[in-house]
Amino acid sequence: MVVSVVVWMQDRKGPEDPSDWLTTVVATCRALVERQGVGDRREALRQLAGLVAEMPASASPGERLLVWALVDEVTFFVLGRGGTDARIRGALQFIDTHYTEPRLTLGAVAAHVGMSRFHLARTLTTQTGHGFRAHLHHARIRAAERLLRGTMLSVKEVAATVGYNDTTQLCRHFRQFRGTSPARFAARAARQQRMMNRNN
C-alpha cells in the first residue's frame, strides 16, 4: 500500500511540498514501516492517530479515503510486528498464506501453531489488537485491492478468488475496511491507470 501511495504522490500535479499534509502522511507511514523494530507501539499508534486527526477540512473525499486506507494498513503492520511471540507470528503468516480458503477457521490456525482455539484467540487479540476474523478479512481485502487494481476480474470473481463465498461478504468487508465499494474502487483505479498511461 505504501508503494502505491508513493506512486500516486509522484503523479500529483506540482512538486512535492514538505508543508503538504499528504506528503507528511506518506513520509510518516513510510518511516514507521521501514523501522527495523517498533519499540513503542503505543507511540507509533499515537502518530498514526495524529495523522487522521490533522487531516485538513479541505481534504477531498479521495484523499480522506487514501489516508484512512494507508493508516489502516500501517496500523495492522505495526501491531503485527514486534512484541509478538513466534506462535502468533506463525498464525499471522498462516492466515496470510491460506486466506483464499473459504472455510479457514480459527481452529485450523490454532492447530497449525499448536495452540487451543481459546488461547490463540485471546493471545492474538492481546498481542496485535485484532482478532482472528479481522486479520482474515484484512488479508482478503488487501488481496482484493490488488486484483481489482491489476486485473480485469469482475467483483464476483474477485470475491471467489480471495476466499469469500459471495459478493455480499466482499462488499460488506471492503466497505468496512476501505470506506467504499469494490466496484467504485476498481473504477477509480482504472481511471488512475488511464491517467498514468496518458502522462507516460
Indicate if the pLDDT at residue 148 is higher than 80. Answer: yes
State the Cα–Cα distance between residues 157 and 117, nearest whole angstrom.
31
Tens of pLDDT along 94-117?
998 999 999 999 999 999 999 999
Residue pLDDT, tens place only, 32-80: 777 655 556 677 777 777 777 787 878 777 777 777 777 777 777 776 6
d(CA 103, CA 116): 18
Q: Where are the domains of the chain?
A: 1-83, 85-200
All 3 cell numbers of residue 25? Answer: 502522511
- Chain-centre distance for alpha carbon 197: 26
| Assigned superfamily of 85-200 | Homeodomain-like (1.10.10.60)
pLDDT of residue 159: 96
User: What span, in angstroms and rounded, lies between the C-alpha atoms of 137 and 142?
Assistant: 9
